[in-house]
Structures are given as C-alpha cells and as structure tokens.
Structure 1
C-alpha cells in the first residue's frame, strides 16, 4: 500500500477515536502516505499527528458542484480506503477513492447490502448497546492486512503547543480543568450543578480553569460560571486554545472534570486524571479511552462510579441507565434525568478520592468500582 485514505466523517470526538486505527495503519505500512478525509472543522484533533501525512477537508453539505469536485479529486487516488464510519456518504467516498476498501456497516440493517457489496472487508457494527468500544471496532478494519494483533487501542492526542503567554503566566500548580459545555442538551450536566462544583473547588483553594470553544453554545455555558471568582483563581480560557494547546494545558493540570464530550476524550488521551459525567450514553461503547490501557474490556455497562486507568466515570442511579437514546424524550434537546441525578457532592467525593496519592492511576487499568 502506497497511498491510504482514512474516512471519518463525524464529529470531533469521533475523529480523535479514529487515531488508534491510523496508528495501526502507520505501523503496518510505515512508508505509505496516509491521508484522512473528514468534515471541515472536525480534523483539528489530527493536526500534528505523527501518523498522518495530509488532511482532506470537505464541507458537511457538498451540493452537486461540491460533490463532483470531490469526486474528481478522489477518483482512484489511493490504494486502500479505510471507511471508519457507516454512513452512506462515507462508503460512497471510499468507493470513489480506492479499488480496495475496508469499512464499517451497521449490523442487522437490511439496507447495508450495497455497502457490503462495495467492500473487500466488512466490519459489522453491533451498535451503541454493545460492549465493543468504538476504538476497537475501528481497529478491526485492519484485520485482513495485518499479521499482528492490535488488541488494545491507543488514542493519540495532538502534540502539545505552547500556551499563550498570558495564560501560562497565570496557571498554577494543581489546577483543576472544568469543561462545562456539551454539544447536545441531552448530554449536558446541569449548569447549576457545575456552579456548585466550581464554588466548592474554589473554597478548597484550588485554581479552576474553564475550557470550551468560542461557539455561542459553549460561551453561554461558560458565562454561567465565569462570574464565580476572578482570575487567576478562576481562569477562563474558553475560545482561546486549540487542541494542541489544550493538550499542553492538560499536561500541567492536576485533574479534569467534564461531560460526555470530545474534550473529555482528549483529556483522557493526554493522560490527565479525568472525571467523566455520563448520562444516557453507554460507557462500554463511548467512555473516554484511558491512556496506556492494557486491555479492551475496561468499563462496565452501568455503575454509579467506576475507574479504568486515569478515567473515573459517574452514572445516574436509574434502572434504564444507559438507555443509549438521546435523553428521556429521545431528541437532542431532551432532558436526561440520569444526569440531573448525579449531584455535585458525588463529583466532589471523587475529587477528594483522586487527591489521595496513587488513586488516579490504579495498578490494574481495567474496570473496578471506585
């Protein structure tokens, strides 16, 4: 294989969780040129990735002209396409790009027959209720060509880049990074809970660093917290750091607290102790993947508190957890009662526990009640 295209046309977190597949391809074909195709605005997690030679960005909505332009650009330009998403568009782009294709298709779907017909190797996805983490599922795309096993995924964080001087000067040892925003309402831990959490951390004398993007939604979430104290005790860096600079921030922080979102995945990959607040999402499938994991079976489907490596994960008490739906009403703006059930006091108890020597990185990286 001289030219390989990895197709990952989903959100930022999904792109990051494709890095174990990209790393495996680089290990198997060290001289190949590996390019990654994804939506504009989602590939920042891969900038500076040592296993990627180029990024191919495409608008989420192409239109007829954009489609034909991309078709001409991709037509048989690669020897192999690794289609890491099950969408129609991803599979069509794979067919256009390369004569040899390995791809993920939705298991049990009667409409997946044409995708299977286009593939040299098929990986059937068991779906979000399964116990197979998405990183392991993507690695299975390499099965036909690799004589080595890739049993344990390794998520590759962006290389750290220097923090802005004004932020670096105010950053204190032992800082706690708090990421409040979620992209979707049904994954959003209540901002009132975040406020209680931040006030308690500040009362303990900890520096709290607020992260988030510059988007209107993220800024609305951060705005509910930034007035709780002044800098440097409460340091708002939202909208000021790219992913490489966030990796540098995580290298200097003591702890990260956040919801089911891409930045929680990044913090876990960077090796920072992470407290992840999960709602309806199945952690066996979507939990932040710990750094330096040594086994694929890391998380239980449901536990009030569990820890795997540097990741501590909290869930609600409801019998339906995790339902794998978009909240209680099954739409992106839905409430999730299981998230409201996770109190700030429960999170603070884990902060206290992880502050004890050795608690953040247990010797056994697999699931254990925390």
Structure 2
C-alpha cells in the first residue's frame, strides 16, 4: 500500500480515537502516504500528528456541487480506504477514493448488504454496550494485513506555547478541570463542579478551567467563577488543540466528564480522573494504553493513568442517551456521583 485514506466522518473524539488505527497502518506500511478525511472542525486533534500526511476537511452538508467536487478530488487516488465510520456517506467516500476498502458496519442496518459487497474486509460494530473498546474495534480493520505488535497508543496533537498571560498565572502542580459536556445527558452538575473546585483549592491546588468558544462551554466555565480564590482558579480561555495539549501535559491531574477532552488528556499521558454516567466505559473510556480492559461498572477503577468513577445505581451503564434516551435528557446517575467522592479520589491521586 503506497497511499491510504482513513475516513472518520464523526465527532472530534472519534477522530482522536482513530489515531491508533493510523499509527498501526504506519507500522504496516512505513513508507505509505496516509491521509485522514473528516468533517470540518473535527480534525484539529491531528495537528502535528507525525503519521498523517494530510487532514482533508469536508463540510457536513456539502450539497450536490460539493459532493461532485469531492468525488473528482478523491477518485481512485488511494490504494486502500479504511472506513472507520459505519455511516453510508463514509462508505461511499471510501468507494470513490480507493481500489480496496476495509470498513466498519453497524450491527444491524438495512444498508449493510451493499456496504459488505464493497468491502474486501468488514468489521461489524458491537454497539454501545459491547465489551470491545472502539479503539480495538477500529484496529480490526487491519486484521488481513497483520495484528498490532503492541498496545497501540492514542496520538494527541503536538504541544504549542500557551498565551503569555495564561502561562504567567500557572502554579506548579495545577489541576486541569473541564466542566462542559457537549450533550446535557453527559453533564455532571455544575454545582458539583463548583464544590469539587472549592475542595481542591482548600487543599492548596490551583484549578485551571478549559472549554471551547461555544456559548454552552463559556457558560459552564463562567459558572465556576468565585468557587475558589482568584489565585487558585484560572480560566484558560479558548485555546487551540495544540495549546490545550500543552496545558494538559503540564498538569498534575486532569478531571473531566465523558468528552473528547478527557480522551485528549489520556493521550497526553497525564493522570486522568473521568466522571462517567450512562456511557459504557468498556466501549468509550479514555484509552488507557494498556492490554487490560475496564470493567463495565465499578465505583472506581484504574487502568494505566486513567481512573474512572461511576454511580452506585443498578442501571449503570445503560448505554443510552440518558434516562429519557435523547441528547437533552437528564441522567440520574451523574448527580449521584458526589463531589466529595470525586475530590477524595483526586486528592489520593495527587498525593
């Protein structure tokens, strides 16, 4: 294989969790040109990735003209397409781009029959309650060409210098806390985060808050103001992915919910404390980079540098989008994880 296209038309975290697949393709074909295609705004996690020649950003809704232009650009440009997204569009992109294809299929879908006909190798996804992590599932796309020789790592973006004003505020041993979640059903209560920050500050730890420039993220960060003395509470502002990676790599600990930044923190090889609600950690926990797998449920469990906390409720994890199974749903399991529990675990890790 001299040229390979990896198709991952999903969210930011999915792009990051595809980097072990890219790394393994690089191991198998060290001289190949490897490109990654994804939605515009999701490929920043690949900035500085040494395994990727080009990150190809496409609009989520390109229209007829955009689709035609993309097809002309990609037509049979690659020897192999690795379709790391079970969606119809991703498979059609793979068909246009490469002469040979390996791809993910959903467990049950009416379009599976034609997708399977297009693939030299198909991997059927186990779904959100599967015991197989998404990283391991994606790696099975390369089974016909050889198994990984070691536990592949998630490759985060390279570090970039922080804004001077932010760098000047940082104290040794700071803790990065990411309070926002993209979807309400994954949001640990902001009041719990305030309590947690106050407890960390009382122990003498400086807390650095992160978040994107979206209104939701900015509101979640602003809600923390006043939770600790000014010298012990820093709003990092809106950073690039490279700056965010640099900030996290300098931290003594990262604390966050089930979100892409938590996956980034694990890739940055710092201690991670992840707060999980309805999501199955066997499937979606931050990748620990070790051969073992997380248990489906445990009050607290640690693999590598990743510690994960869940609620003591019989429904955990349900694998659904909250109690009402939609993105704006509540998740009763998240408020049940008390800030006292999280703070105690964080201080044990810091000690």
CA–CA separation in structure 2 for the residues paired with 1:190 and 1:128: 23
In the alignment, is the contact (CA less than 8 A) between 1:136 and 1:153 conserved in 2?
no
Q: 2:322 aligns with which of 323, 327, 335?
A: 327
Which residue number corresponds to residue 318 of structure 1? 313
Instruction: Give the secondary structure class of the aligned counterpart of 1:266.
Output: helix
Give the unaligned 5+ runs of structure 1: 357-370
Alpha-carbon distance between aligned partners in 2 of 1:169 and 1:355, rounded to the nearest angstrom: 22
SS of residue in 1 equivalent to 2:37: strand
Instruction: Tell me, yes or no, if structure 1 residue 90 matches structure 2 residue 90.
Output: yes
Q: Distance in 2 between matches of 1:233 and 1:108?
A: 50
The match for 1:309 among 304, 311, 336 is: 304
Stretch deviating more after TM superposition (14-23 or 224-233): 224-233
Measure, in 2, the Cα distance between the counterparts of 1:312 and 1:343: 16
- Normalised by the length of structure 1, the TM-score is 0.93
Hey, what does 1:15 align to over in structure 2?
15
Match of 1:368 in 2: none
Tell me the equivalent position of 1:207. Answer: 206
- 2:88, 2:149 → 1: CA distance? 27
Partner of 1:111: 111
Q: How many angstroms does 1:243 deviate by?
A: 1.4
Residue number in structure 1 paired with 2:346:
351
Distance of 2:149 and 2:123 partners within structure 1: 15
Match of 1:243 among 227, 241, 255: 241
**Cα-Cα RMSD:** 1.2
Post-superposition shift, 1:252? 1.4
Query: Equivalent residue of 2:343, what SS?
Result: helix
Number of equivalent positions: 351
Does 2:48 correspond to 1:52? Answer: no
Q: Does 1:143 align with 2:143?
A: yes
Q: 2 CA distance for matches of 1:32 and 1:17?
A: 21
Give the structure 1 partner of residue 189 of structure 2. Answer: 190
Offset, 1:229:
4.0
Distance 1:329 1:150, change over 3 A: farther
- Any conservation in 2 of the 1:136–1:152 contact (CA below 8 Å)? no
- Aligned mates of 1:112, 1:3 — CA distance in 2: 26
TM-score normalised per structure 2: 0.97
Superposition map of 1:68-83 within 5 A? 68-83=68-83
Aligned to 2:293: 298
> What does residue 28 of structure 1 align with?
28
For the residue of structure 2 that corresponds to 1:339, the secondary structure is coil
- Give the corresponding residue for 1:338: 333
Give the 4+ runs in structure 1 shifted more than 4 A: none
Q: CA deviation at 1:150?
A: 4.6
CA contact (8 A) 1:136 1:151 kept: no
CA distance in 1, matches of 2:297, 2:150: 23
Pairwise CA distance, 1:352: 2.1
**Unaligned runs of at least 5 residues, structure 2:** none
Residue 266 of structure 1, CA deviation: 0.5
SS in 1 for 2:78: coil
Please report how far the alpha carbon of residue 231 of structure 1 lies from its aligned counterpart in structure 2 after TM superposition: 4.0
Deviation at 1:298, TM superposition (A): 1.9
- The 8 Å contact of residues 180 and 211 in structure 1, kept in 2 or not, is answered as yes
The alpha-carbon deviation at position 165 of structure 1 amounts to: 1.4
**Contact kept in structure 2, 1:328 and 1:337, CA below 8 Å:** yes
CA deviations over 1:212-259 (Å, ceiling 9, x no partner): 0111110011110023345432110131x1111112112211111100
Q: Is 2:236 the partner of 1:232?
A: no
41-50 or 196-205, which deviates more: 196-205
Deviates more, 1:158-167 or 1:335-344: 158-167
